[in-house]
């Protein structure tokens, strides 16, 4: 099996590495989003696993998860994660860290803790709520810092081991290497003749969140050593902006239309590995600083930073067009789209807006036809 | 409806409606004359603005004015044309984007000095940021707002604890932060408007809120134990407008007058719906009476005698000032006002001797209500149409007759 096939395998069998880790006696800590400092988890000797949904599960049939009053998780991917947890698909997790990110993620926590209290027989991992603010003000940074330090303490309590500076520095070295390898992947995508498809890139990036980073680095190094043989791609260069993409359906359709997704603004894509951690100073402070200052997602204030991020990345990737893909109920994402499309247009980048999209794409052909028309419009 | 005594109109709700019209006009004039003017969401900061004598439009109230003018469709189209989601909460933004003051209530809102935006929902802060941008006004984000102040689901009897033991329900770190945020915003307002805030004034505002809610409770309790009900649901709900004046002497006085009027009606045997045979509770999000109310009353003598908004007023707004710290008390209220659970609704329905709750909801909620001890009639929509009537008829005929 080639290194790429190995990575692909981990992308498809997302529990594989975690289950192996468990078998060898380790503990697995699940988390959502990308504002949970993985470096702390690694330094604590835990296996960090980012939770994802499964559009092929029966999520859409279940519809909205509606629990107590205001507690509900509407976006397809969160409803799917909730469904999977309640079905026991994540029963190998020892701990689950849920950050204060988008509302439905926050509500996933309240829903699970309510269930835990009212249904004692339900087997759930130990839950931890990681509070986190939606602005980047100075005072918000201080507040977040205290919360991250509390998490660090909790991890030490769980594992009975101290997270020493030395262990943390080692963990930082591992995640920094991962970031720099993934940046190479990103560079190969934006090359004048792209050498990696968006479809492959999403799997490479995604697998980094389902594997131990050390293992991922090894495979990624091996994969990138064959760079010289990567075939060149042609076709229209596209940027994808929008809702979290924890699966391959969209890229598969886009790239079947004679286009290549050369970059994206997505927490399952390039945005997940921005900003390396400073290795020169105090490691705890460095980790916190990175998480306070990393590229924001749509939940964050102010909108200007989001627009700038979208524009800079689309321009740097020299794209010929952009696709905005927003899932049904993902209003958070939808509110920034008009501004982003506007600045891209001012910069000569046309957009296609796919709004209210289902989490599981059933009518593949209709979507392909729309994207195909957009791509043809650009190549004319 | 034949009983003479039922025709007697209630005075206080009418006085409230008249006062509200006058208040709108007065506020508009004040702002025209250059007074500072703020926009914030309900239950986010308005007591403090009131204390500082800064005129404020509460967003949900502004949205209610738009809906009353039946302009919601119009403004939702404005948003859709610009590729924005057409939500109720964004209609205010739409009035400004539209920039046709002649179309909007009040002839459009004047430019605010500040728009304050909380993180109550994913999109609230963003929508208000955009609204401020549209006006060219200052936008002030506040991190913690209702629903985000708590980490765990509150205990089922939260409504019995929240007045005196709110500190058990709200997360202390977040509360510290919220207090800091309030202090920063007050400082900004003091600097930019020259108006002042003070501890005694805040304390007094909270005490007035508590008194207001006490009168509300006493009136609600009288209505709960008097059958047929002495006050129509429409009149009960129109008292809710006084919420926008809570923490003021006139806010308290309106509820005092309301309570006294209800008491007087009970003593004199004046009823709102003399043919009342079946008591129901109506639950909806907008705080409006059911459109099918008259039909249900005439057909079955089924009357909605209470509404979830009455519970909100009575159970969730009052707070005992703890540790002589009104700022923190207020902050806690902005972070956890109430938590809608079937247990709470069931407690309200039972308190008012209702035999069922009527609402638009799914199967899961129905089961939860039943578990909490009250049957729930699930109707397909809020409309007064055949399907809604059929659902209500089916329930009443097979369970209550
Ligand atoms: S966009 Fe942000 S809040 Fe939403 S899933 Fe990604 S990291 Fe979480």
Contact, A7 vs A37, CB < 8 A? no
Cβ distance B122 to A301 less than 8 Å, yes or no, reads no
- Which of B183, B157, B178 is closest to B169 using CA atoms? B157
From CA B5, how far away is CA B271, in angstroms rounded? 7
Say whether A302 and B129 touch across the interface (CB within 8 A): yes
CA atoms within 13 A on the CB side of A218: 6
Residue B361: band (very low, low, confident or very high) from pLDDT cuts 50, 70, 90: confident
A33 CA → ligand 1 middle, Å: 5
- Chain A residue numbers with beta carbons less than 8 Å from the beta carbon of B151 are 109-110, 129, 131
Tens digit of each residue's pLDDT (9 = 90 or more) over B98-132: 999 999 988 888 899 999 998 888 899 999 999 99
Q: What's the ipTM?
A: 0.95
In degrees and rounded to multiples of 5, residue A50 shows phi and psi of: -80, 130
A267 within ligand 1 shell (Cβ under 6 A): yes
A4-13 burial: b if 16+ Cβ within 10 Å, else e: bebbbebbee
For ligand 1, whether the C-beta of A43 sits within 6 Å is no
Q: Over 60: is that where the pLDDT of A60 sits?
A: no
Query: Does residue B4 have a pLDDT over 50?
Result: no
Mean pLDDT of chain A: 94
pLDDT exceeds 90 at position A117: no
Which has more pLDDT, A279 or B363?
Answer: A279
Tell me what the mean pLDDT of segment B367-377 comes to.
92
Given a cut of 80, whether residue B362 has pLDDT beyond it is no
Cβ A34 under 6 angstroms from ligand 1:
yes
Residue of B nearest to A115 (CA): B153
Domains, chain A, ranges and CATH? 3-163 (3.40.50.11890), 166-379 (3.40.50.11900)
In order of their start, the domains of chain B are: 6-197 (3.40.50.11890)
* Most informative mutation of A30, A31, A33 for ligand 1 (most atoms within 8 A of CB): A33
Burial per residue of B354-393, b for 16 or more beta-carbon CB atoms within 10 angstroms, e otherwise: bbbbbbbbeeebbebbeebebbbbbbeebeeeeebbebbb
Chain B hits for A355, CB-CB cut-off 8 Å, are: 83
Sorting pLDDT into bands at 50, 70 and 90, what band is A220? very high
* Cα–Cα distance measured from residue A78 to residue A63, given in angstroms and rounded to the nearest whole number: 11
Nearest Cα to A223, choosing from A241, A205, A237, A209?
A205
Contact assignment for A355 to B147 by CB distance below 8 Å = no
Min CA distance, B197 vs chain A (Å)? 23
| pLDDT tier for residue B153 given thresholds of 50, 70 and 90 | confident
Ligand 1 centroid to Cα of residue A336, in Å, is 14
Average of pLDDT values for B211-229?
Answer: 97
Q: What is the pLDDT of residues B225-281, one digit of tens each?
A: 999 999 999 999 999 989 888 999 999 999 999 999 999 999 999 999 999 999 999
Considering chain A, what percentage of its residues have pLDDT values greater than 90? 88
- Can you tell me the mean pLDDT for A5-15? 98
B174 near A CB under 8 A: yes
Q: Collapsing DSSP states into helix, strand and coil, what is residue B39?
A: strand
Which residue CA neighbors atom 2 of ligand 1 most closely? A297
Q: Is the CB of A168 under 6 A from ligand 1?
A: no
Is residue A24's pLDDT more than 70?
A: yes
Average pLDDT over residues B8-28: 88
Asked if B131 has any chain A CB less than 8 Å from its own CB, the reply is no
Residue nearest to atom 4 of ligand 1 (CA): A102
Q: What's the mean pLDDT in A178-185?
A: 98
A96 CB near ligand 1 (under 6 Å)? no
The band of B141, judged by pLDDT with boundaries at 50, 70 and 90, is very high
Tell me which residue has its CA closest to atom 5 in ligand 1: A33
Nearest CA to ligand 1 atom 8: A33
Q: Dihedrals φ, ψ of B200, to 5°?
A: -60, -35
In chain B, which residues have their Cβ closer than 8 Å to the Cβ of A67? 364
Chain B: closest CA distance from residue A73 (Å):
12
> Rounded distance, CA A373 to CA A121, Å?
53
- Compute the nearest-CA separation of A362 from chain B (Å): 23
Local confidence band at B149 (pLDDT 50, 70, 90 cut-offs)? confident
A106 lines ligand 1 (CB under 6 A): no
- Tokens in use for A238? 């596209």
Instruction: Give the model's pLDDT for residue B3.
Output: 44
In the predicted structure, residue A59 carries a pLDDT above the cut 80: no
Q: Does B120 touch chain A (CB under 8 A)?
A: no
pLDDT (0 to 100) of residue B1: 40
Chain B residues within 8 A of A146 when measuring between CB atoms: 173
Question: Could you identify the residue written with the tokens 């397809």?
Answer: A76
> Chain B: residue nearest A341 by CA?
B83
Q: Of the candidates B305, B277, B160, which has an alpha carbon nearest to the alpha carbon of residue B220?
A: B305
Cα–Cα nearest to B105, from B21, B33, B49, B216: B21
Token code pair at residue B187? 């400082």
Spell out which residues of chain B touch residue A353, defining contact as CB-CB under 8 Å: 83
Rounded CA separation B194/B196 (Å): 7
Question: Which of these, B327, B318, B324, B323, lies nearest to B186 by C-alpha position?
Answer: B327
C-alpha B395 – ligand 1 centre gap (Å): 43
Q: Which residues of A touch B (CB under 8 A)?
A: 66-71, 100, 102-103, 106, 109-110, 113-114, 117, 129, 131, 133-135, 139-140, 143, 146-147, 298-299, 301-303, 331-332, 334-338, 341, 353, 355
Name the B residues in 24-43 with CB < 8 Å from any A CB.
none
The pTM score is 0.93
Among B80, B83, B88, B122, the residue to mutate for chain A (most A Cβ within 10 A): B122
For B369, residues 6+ apart whose C-beta sits below 8 A from its C-beta are B342, B345, B346, B357, B375, B376
Residues in chain A within 8 Å Cβ distance of B152: 110, 113
Give Cα separations from B242 to A170, A367, B238, B239, B249 (angstroms).
Answer: 61, 51, 8, 6, 11
Mean pLDDT of chain B: 93
CA distance A249 to A362: 10
Q: Write the CB contacts of B18 (distance below 8 Å, at least 6 apart in sequence).
A: none
Contact assessment for residue A78 and residue A329, using Cβ atoms and an 8 Å cutoff: no
Distance A103 CA to ligand 1 centre (A): 10
Model pLDDT for residues A75-94, shown as the tens digit of each residue: 889 989 998 998 899 999 99
Ligand 1 in reach of A100 Cβ (< 6 A): no
Lowest mean pLDDT among B151-155, B328-332, B344-348: B151-155
Q: Whose CA is nearest to atom 1 of ligand 1?
A: A297
**Chains A & B: contacts with CB separation below 8 Å:** 85
Question: How far does the centroid of ligand 1 lie from the alpha carbon of residue A60, in Å?
Answer: 20
Closest Cβ opposite residue B122 in set A68, A109, A332: A332
B203-221: average pLDDT: 97
């Amino acid at each position: 099996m080639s290194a790429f096939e190995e990575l692909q395998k981990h992308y498809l069998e997302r529990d594989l590495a975690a289950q192996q880790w468990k078998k060898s006696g380790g503990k697995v800590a699940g988390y959502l989003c990308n504002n949970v400092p993985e470096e702390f988890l690694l330094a604590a000797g835990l296996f960090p696993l980012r939770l994802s949904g499964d559009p092929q599960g029966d999520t859409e049939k279940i519809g909205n998860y509606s629990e107590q009053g205001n507690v509900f998780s509407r976006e397809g991917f969160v409803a799917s994660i909730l469904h999977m947890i309640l079905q026991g698909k994540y029963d190998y997790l020892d701990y689950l860290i849920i950050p204060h990110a988008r509302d439905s993620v926050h509500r996933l926590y309240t829903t699970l803790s309510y269930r835990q209290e009212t249904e004692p027989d339900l087997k759930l991992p130990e839950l931890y709520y990681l509070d986190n603010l939606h602005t980047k003000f100075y005072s918000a940074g201080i507040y977040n810092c205290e919360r991250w330090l509390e998490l660090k303490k909790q991890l030490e309590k769980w594992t009975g081991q101290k997270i020493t500076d030395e262990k943390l520095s080692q963990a930082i070295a591992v995640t920094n290497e991962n970031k720099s390898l993934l940046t190479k992947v990103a560079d190969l995508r934006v090359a004048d003749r792209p050498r990696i498809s968006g479809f492959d890139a999403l799997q490479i990036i995604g697998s980094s969140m389902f594997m131990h980073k050390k293992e991922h680095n090894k495979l990624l190094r091996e994969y990138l050593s064959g760079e010289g043989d990567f075939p060149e791609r042609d076709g229209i260069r596209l940027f994808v902006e929008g809702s979290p993409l924890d699966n391959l359906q969209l890229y598969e359709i886009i790239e079947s239309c004679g286009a290549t997704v050369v970059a994206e603004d997505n927490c399952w894509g390039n945005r997940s590995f921005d900003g390396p951690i400073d290795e020169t100073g105090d490691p705890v402070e460095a980790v916190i600083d990175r998480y306070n200052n990393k590229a924001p997602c749509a939940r964050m204030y102010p909108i200007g930073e989001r627009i700038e991020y979208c524009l800079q990345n689309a321009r740097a990737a020299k794209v010929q067009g952009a696709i905005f893909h927003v899932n049904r109920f993902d209003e958070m994402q939808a509110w920034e789209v008009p501004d982003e499309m506007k600045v891209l247009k001012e910069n000569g980048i046309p957009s296609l807006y796919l709004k209210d999209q289902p989490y599981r794409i059933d009518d593949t052909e209709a979507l392909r036809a729309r994207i195909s028309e957009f791509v043809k419009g650009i190549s004319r | 409806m034949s009983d003479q005594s039922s025709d007697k109109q209630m005075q206080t709700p009418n006085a409230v409606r008249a006062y509200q019209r006058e208040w709108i006009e007065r506020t508009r004039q004040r702002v025209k004359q250059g007074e500072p003017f703020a926009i914030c969401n309900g239950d986010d900061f308005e007591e403090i603005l009131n204390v500082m004598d800064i005129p404020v439009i509460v967003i949900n109230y502004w949205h209610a004015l738009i809906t009353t003018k039946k302009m919601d469709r119009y403004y939702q189209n404005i948003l859709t044309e610009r590729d924005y989601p057409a939500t109720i909460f964004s209609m205010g933004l739409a009035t400004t984007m539209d920039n046709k003051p002649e179309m909007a209530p009040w002839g459009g809102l004047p430019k605010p000095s500040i728009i304050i935006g909380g993180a109550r929902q994913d999109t609230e802060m963003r929508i208000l940021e955009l609204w401020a941008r549209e006006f060219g006004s200052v936008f002030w984000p506040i991190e913690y707002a209702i629903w985000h102040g708590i980490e765990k689901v509150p205990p089922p009897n939260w409504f019995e604890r929240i007045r005196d033991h709110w500190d058990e329900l709200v997360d202390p770190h977040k509360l510290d932060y919220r207090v800091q945020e309030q202090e920063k915003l007050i400082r900004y307002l003091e600097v930019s408007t020259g108006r002042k805030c003070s501890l005694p004034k805040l304390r007094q505002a909270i005490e007035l809120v508590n008194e207001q809610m006490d009168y509300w409770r006493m009136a609600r309790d009288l209505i709960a134990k008097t059958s047929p009900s002495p006050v129509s649901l429409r009149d009960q709900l129109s008292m809710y407008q006084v919420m926008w004046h809570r923490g003021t002497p006139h806010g308290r006085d309106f509820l005092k007058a309301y309570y006294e009027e209800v008491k007087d009606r009970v003593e004199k045997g004046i009823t709102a719906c003399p043919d009342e045979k079946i008591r129901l509770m109506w639950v909806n999000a907008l705080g409006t009476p059911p459109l099918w109310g008259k039909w249900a009353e005439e057909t079955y003598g089924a009357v909605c005698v209470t509404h979830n908004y009455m519970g909100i007023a009575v159970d969730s707004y009052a707070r005992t000032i703890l540790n002589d710290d009104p700022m923190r008390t207020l902050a806690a209220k902005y972070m956890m006002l109430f938590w809608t659970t079937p247990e709470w609704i069931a407690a309200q329905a039972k308190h008012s001797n209702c035999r069922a709750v009527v609402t638009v909801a799914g199967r899961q909620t129905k089961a939860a209500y039943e578990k909490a001890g009250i049957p729930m009639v699930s109707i397909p929509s809020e409309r007064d149409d055949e399907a809604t009537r059929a659902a209500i008829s089916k329930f009443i005929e097979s369970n209550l007759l």
